[in-house]
Structure 1
Amino acid sequence: MRLNDLAPEKGQRKSRKRVGRGVGSGSGKTAGRGSKGQNARSGGGVRPGYEGGQMPIHRRLPKRGFKNPFKKTFAVVNVQDLNRFEGQSVVDEAVLIRSGLVKGDRDGIKVLGKGDLQVPVTVRINQISESARQKIEAAGGKIEVI
Structure 2
Amino acid sequence: MQLDKTRAIIIGILTLLPHVFGIFALLRVLSFILTFDINSTNISVPSISSLLFGSAFTWLLSMALIVFYLLHVYESKELDTEKKWLWSAVIVFAGYVSMPFYWWYKIWKPATAPVPVIEGESIVPPPEPPEEDERKGRVYEL
State the TM-score, normalizing by the size of structure 1: 0.19
State the TM-score, normalizing by the size of structure 2: 0.20
Greater per-residue strand proportion: 1
Which one has the largest radius of gyration?
A: 1
